[in-house]
């Protein structure tokens, strides 16, 4: 037994919390007035069984150590010291964490970026490529653009000379391995122009490499590494974040060259996703700087689909969105090369999303037929309904009325009857007006139900597509459940916990406690019904996500022969969709 376990065994959560607030029995748990927010009814739930105390009104709490950290306002080692003293347990000194793997990868990337930049600097021929695309020497230096030589070992030899190990370079995604059998390694980036990718704190986390001349893939990116997670990164934010703040606006463009050309032209509040469709995490990142964003994506049909998906995601994140239409259907990069003024005008003339939606749907349906009108209204009315103010609603209805030649008073009638999809709230959930309260994800509720009713996990295995919801903070928990289920044919909680870090163990306990709080007296039948409802909603979200990712891939692959395969996949997704819903 380690020291933490020893302390935990000696001090129950009810005892520790009970030292600060009065607790009363409530079913199998205890409740008290929450010490962390201005609580009027007992909102703080303590579960002796689970070893945690948590308030779902202000989302604060945890195990005994977390509770002491919070209430005494101390760090973890100090909380351990306090509790060790109370429990009369001897503890050794804490050691600081070793130099992290992530920092090592960043170091190797910085050295590589420097090497690639030197190679470019030494070659007039390759520098000329960037000059021809309109970049200046200064811009090349600022963005640390580079060139990876046409060689299988030039970067590798160089970095090994500096003192890095082959295995480390492999781990950093700078080398590839021939195959599992043949462990020989070689440079990942060869004969490509290099765009180093930095995170918003200016760490070199990965690379994008553009092929020289024609060939596939046009852009090769670093794989995900301990430093690089492409769904979390926005290219250009390190250079653009102060401009984003100052202008109170972030412009999303498609590629590295768009970001760089914009900067050179003095339009610095610009970012791009790299190697992925826009994600919720990227929006969360940008929201730290501004709630206002504009999309300047391509205007081909795939680009419009991507814009539509991005808008939906950004609306979920409650951001203010505009659409920039680049003249003559060009990329920002091409537009700026021709005339920076045209780009600045396009920014000025960015349109509200309703205008984008109206022109989008009018292209899909014939507004002169009754069926066409119906389709158009089915699409537009729920969007208009989402606007809070009737003034805004009226303005958009007027536009629709003019386009469809329908009297606005009929549109108002239809709008009243239109329902919008509400975000999910569980039965009996008490809603309190506290600022920190957060909505739990469906995936989290479902996890909580699994941990509370492990026998019902098989419903998930049988009905949830892939049995792992993607792109949420809960993904890893589902993976662990699946792993344990495959091994033991049941979800044994102790087996699940063995696979998780301390922090994650605490999280799943909070999810389970969430169920105690929201489904106090549910029958197994009712819980089953609830699980099915969650599975349905999560499946829909996963399919939508897969579709968005595919649309992005189709665009990337549209020049190569691969696009037919991807299109077939998309058709299959659509079929799946109609089958399920
Ligand atoms: Zn609270």
Q: Is the dihedral of CA 250, 255, 257, 258 positive or negative?
A: negative
Whether residue 249 contacts residue 292, with contact meaning beta carbons closer than 8 Å, is answered with: yes
Cα separation values, 216 from 174, 234, 552, 559, Å: 19, 24, 16, 9
DSSP per position, 77-128: HHHHHHHHHHHT---PPPPPPPPPHHHHHHHHHHHHHHHHHHHHHT-HHHHH
Question: How much is the pLDDT for 72?
Answer: 82
Tokens 């030039």, residue located:
154
pLDDT at position 421: 53
The Å distance, Cα 441 to ligand 1 centre, comes to 19
How remote is the CA of residue 44 from the centroid of ligand 1, in Å?
Answer: 6
Q: Parse the chain into domains and list their residue ranges.
A: 3-87, 101-228, 237-349, 357-417, 442-580
CA of 514 to the centre of ligand 1 (A): 14
CA of 48 to the centre of ligand 1 (A): 18
| pLDDT recorded at residue 418 | 86
Ligand 1 centre to CA of 19 (Å) is 17
- Give which of 181, 171, 339, 319 is closest to 252, Cα–Cα: 319
For ligand 1, the distance from its centroid to the CA atom of residue 473, given in whole angstroms, is: 23
Q: How many CA atoms lie within 13 A of 580 on its CB side?
A: 21
Distance 72 CA to ligand 1 centre (A): 15
* 33 Cα: distance to centroid of ligand 1 (angstroms): 8
Q: How far is the CA of 425 from the centre of ligand 1 (A)?
A: 19
Q: How would you classify the pairing of strands 192-198 and 219-221?
A: unpaired
CA atoms in the 13 A half-sphere facing the CB of 348: 6
Question: Measured in angstroms, how far is the CA atom of residue 43 from the centroid of ligand 1?
Answer: 6
Please tell me the distance between residue 60's alpha carbon and the centre of ligand 1 in angstroms.
6
- Alpha-carbon span 424 to 492, nearest angstrom: 28
Distance, CA 114 to ligand 1 centroid (Å)?
A: 50
> Averaged in consecutive runs of 10 residues, what is the pLDDT profile of the chain (581 residues)?
83 92 89 87 89 88 91 82 88 54 88 97 95 96 97 95 92 86 88 95 92 87 87 93 91 95 96 86 87 88 80 87 88 92 95 89 90 92 85 92 92 88 40 45 84 84 71 80 86 86 83 79 79 84 76 69 67 68 54
Between the CA of 444 and the centroid of ligand 1 the distance, in Å, is: 19
Domain 3-87, second-level architecture: Alpha-Beta Complex (3.90)
Rounded Cα–Cα distance for residues 68 and 80 (Å) = 9
CA of 58 relative to ligand 1 center, distance in Å: 4
Structurally, at CATH architecture level, domain 237-349 sits in 3-Layer(aba) Sandwich (3.40)
Task: Compute, in angstroms, the gap from residue 260 CA to the centroid of ligand 1.
Answer: 46
Distance between Cα 7 and ligand 1 center (Å): 25
List the CATH code of the domain at 442-580.
1.10.860
Instruction: Give the Cα separation of 239 and 260 in Å (integer).
Output: 10
Interval between CA 527 and ligand 1 midpoint (Å) = 27
Nearest to 570 by CA among 241, 558, 559: 558
Give residue 287 CA to ligand 1 midpoint distance, Å.
25
> What pLDDT shows up at residue 428?
37
Query: What is the CA(35)–ligand 1 centre distance, in A?
Result: 6
Distance 205 CA to ligand 1 centre (A): 38
CA–centroid distance, 52 to ligand 1, in Å, is 14
306, 547, 550 from 563: Cα distances, Å: 16, 14, 10
Ligand 1 centroid – CA 522 distance (Å): 25
Residues with CB under 5 A from ligand 1 (ion): 34, 36-37, 55, 57-58
Q: Residue 32 Cα, ligand 1 centroid: separation in angstroms?
A: 10
SS3 228: coil
CA 512–ligand 1 middle distance (angstroms): 18
Fold held by 101-228: DNA primase DNAg catalytic core, N-terminal domain (3.90.980)
Phi, psi of 221 (to 5 degrees): -110, 160
Q: Which residues of 367-398 are buried (b: 16+ CB within 10 A; e: fewer)?
A: eeeeebbebbbeebbebbeeeeeeeebbebbe
């Amino acid at each position: 037994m380690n020291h933490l376990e020893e302390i935990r065994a000696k001090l129950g959560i009810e005892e520790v919390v009970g030292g600060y607030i009065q607790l009363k029995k409530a079913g199998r748990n205890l409740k008290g007035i929450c010490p962390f927010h201005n609580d009027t009814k007992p909102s703080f739930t303590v579960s002796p069984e689970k070893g945690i105390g948590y308030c779902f009104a202000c989302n604060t709490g945890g195990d005994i150590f977390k509770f002491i950290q919070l209430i005494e306002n101390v760090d973890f080692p100090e909380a351990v010291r306090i509790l060790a003293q109370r429990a009369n347990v001897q503890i050794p000194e804490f050691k600081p964490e070793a130099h992290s793997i992530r920092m090592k990868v960043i170091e190797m990337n910085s050295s590589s970026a420097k090497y690639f930049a030197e190679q470019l600097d030494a070659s007039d021929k390759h520098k000329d490529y960037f000059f021809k695309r309109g970049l200046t020497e200064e811009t090349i230096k600022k963005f640390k653009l580079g060139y990876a030589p046409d060689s299988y070992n030039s970067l590798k030899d160089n970095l090994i000379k500096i003192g890095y190990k082959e295995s480390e370079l492999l781990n950093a995604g700078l080398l590839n391995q021939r195959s599992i059998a043949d462990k020989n390694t070689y440079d990942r980036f060869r004969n490509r122009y290099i765009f180093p990718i930095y995170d918003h704190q200016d760490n070199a986390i990965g690379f994008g490499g553009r092929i020289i001349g024609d060939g596939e893939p046009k852009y090769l990116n670093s794989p995900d590494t301990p430093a690089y997670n492409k769904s979390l990164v926005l290219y250009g934010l390190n250079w653009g974040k102060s401009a984003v703040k100052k202008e109170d606006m972030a412009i999303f463009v498609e590629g590295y060259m768009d970001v760089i050309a914009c900067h050179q032209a003095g339009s610095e509040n610009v970012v791009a996703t790299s190697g992925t469709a826009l994600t919720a995490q990227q929006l969360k990142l940008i929201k730290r700087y501004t709630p206002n964003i504009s999309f300047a994506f391509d205007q081909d049909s795939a680009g419009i689909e991507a814009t539509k998906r991005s808008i939906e995601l950004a609306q979920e994140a409650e951001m203010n969105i505009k659409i920039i239409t680049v003249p003559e259907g060009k990329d920002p990069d091409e537009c700026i090369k021709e005339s920076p003024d045209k780009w600045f005008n396009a920014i000025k003339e960015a349109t509200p999303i309703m205008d984008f939606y109206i022109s989008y749907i009018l292209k899909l349906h014939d507004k002169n037929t009754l069926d066409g009108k119906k389709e158009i209204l089915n699409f537009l009315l729920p969007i208009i309904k989402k606007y809070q103010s009737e003034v805004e609603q009226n303005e958009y209805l007027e536009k629709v009325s003019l386009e469809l030649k329908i009297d606005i008073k009929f549109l108002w009638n239809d709008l009243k009857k239109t329902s919008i999809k509400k975000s999910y709230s569980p039965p009996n959930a008490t809603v309190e007006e506290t600022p920190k309260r957060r909505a739990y994800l469906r995936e989290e509720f479902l996890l909580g139900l699994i941990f509370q009713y492990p026998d019902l996990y098989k419903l998930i295995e049988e009905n949830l597509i892939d049995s792992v919801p993607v792109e949420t903070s809960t993904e890893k928990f589902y993976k662990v459940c699946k792993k344990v289920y495959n091994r033991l044919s049941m979800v044994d909680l102790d087996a699940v916990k063995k696979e998780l870090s301390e922090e994650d163990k605490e999280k799943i306990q909070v999810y389970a406690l969430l169920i105690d709080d929201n489904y106090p007296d549910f029958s197994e039948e009712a819980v089953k019904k609830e699980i099915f409802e969650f599975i349905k909603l999560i499946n829909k979200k996963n399919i939508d996500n897969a579709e968005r990712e595919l649309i992005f891939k189709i665009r990337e692959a549209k020049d190569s022969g691969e696009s037919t395969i991807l299109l077939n996949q998309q058709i299959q997704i659509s079929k799946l969709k109609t089958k399920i819903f």
